[in-house]
Amino acid sequence: MLDVKHVSKEFKTVKALNDINFSVENGQILGLIGQNGAGKSTTFHSILNFLQYDGEITWEDKPITDTVFDQIGYLPEERSLMSKLTVEQQIVYLARLKNRPAKEIRPQIDTWLKKFAVKGTKKDRIKSLSKGNQQKVQLICTMIHDPKLIILDEPFSGLDPVNADLLKQAILEAKQNGAAIIFSSHDMENVEELCDKLVMLKNGEIVLDGTVSDVRNSFGKTHLFVTTDWTKERLEQLPKVTSVVERESNRYLLQLADESAGKEIFTKLTDGKYIEEFSQQPPSLNEIFRMKAGAINE
């Protein structure tokens, strides 16, 4: 388990992190979200001992030492491969830095290239690959040594939906094998789909922390999706409805001032008759992100 306790970091006059606390258990995925400059990369760099910080970070209740680094897979936001090396040379080189012998890694390379659908062979030079395929090679370098702690900084950046799905499957497979995984993303759909819990940073402080469902439900079930032949104007007259948006023909999103209004609206709208859709939900993570990121005071 990764434990981050009371971690703070200052760069001259900038408080990059302010008393950050969270944990990631084995077999768990945590999404670290926030605007650019919120402190996500600084958090990753603190975990990896790339910089000095105040506080305590441990892996399995022990400080993160050189031995622990061998158990970590890290994908930085800035991709960095050696363009003149072949795919095989690059993967083997980085695996050896994790104390994995070449004779153990080489037999796995073709399987990993197939898993990520890399267009190229292990004998191709890195510079001959497209940017997308280079990114997939770097993902292989991050995961081929079977890390127990996986840190991915914007791993989906630049990937099309098909290749993003390949990465998601690899992440879920690593989770099933017991890895603790933490990744940052600006795509809340990825966070909602993959994560067991999330932490949101704003100006170096945690403003949201919990499971995805708990975070969403904490904002109340104020979104009501209905399919009805009622007009928009008639729906606007329902109790505690603050706005109505027509999503498609006869399908509307009603914003409620209070989730408790749902029962009364259901009674009025259905009048004892069948209704195709009546779904009361909390805001999406995208909406919550915009609300919290744009809030002046927390």
Enter the DSSP assignment of 69.
H
Distance CA 112, CA 118 (A): 9
Residues with Cβ < 8 Å from 140, sequence gap 6 or more?
91, 109, 112, 113, 116, 118
Helix ranges (DSSP H) in 119-202: 131-143, 161-176, 188-194
> Which pLDDT does position 297 carry in this prediction?
43
Go through the domains of the chain in sequence order and give each one's CATH number. Answer: 2-211 (3.40.50.300), 223-281 (3.30.70)
- The span from the CA of 164 to the CA of 125, in Å, is 23
How do the residues of the chain divide into helix, strand and coil, expressed in percent and rounded to 5? 35, 30, 35
Give the contacts of 103 (CB within 8 A, at least 6 positions apart): none
For 100, other C-beta atoms within 10 Å of its C-beta total 17
CA dihedral 287, 293, 296, 298 (to 10 degrees): 90
Residue 8 in contact with residue 18, Cβ under 8 Å? Answer: yes
Residue 173 neighbours by CB distance under 10 Å = 12
Q: What is the pLDDT along the chain (298 residues), one digit of tens a residue?
A: 999 999 999 998 899 999 999 999 999 999 999 999 999 999 999 999 999 999 999 999 999 988 889 999 999 988 789 999 999 999 999 999 999 999 999 999 999 999 999 998 999 999 999 988 998 999 999 999 999 999 999 998 878 899 999 999 999 999 999 999 999 998 899 999 999 999 999 999 999 999 999 999 999 999 999 999 999 999 999 999 999 999 988 999 999 999 999 999 999 999 989 999 999 999 999 999 998 887 544 4
Residues facing 255 on adjacent strands: 223, 243
From CA 263, how far away is CA 244, in angstroms rounded? 17
**Per-residue model confidence (pLDDT) at position 295:** 58
pTM of the model: 0.88
Contact 199, 22 (CB under 8 A): yes
Edge-to-edge strand ranges of the sheet holding 29-33: 72-75, 149-153, 180-184, 29-33, 197-202, 205-211
Instruction: List the beta strands (DSSP E) in 188-257.
Output: 197-202, 205-211, 223-227, 241-248, 251-256
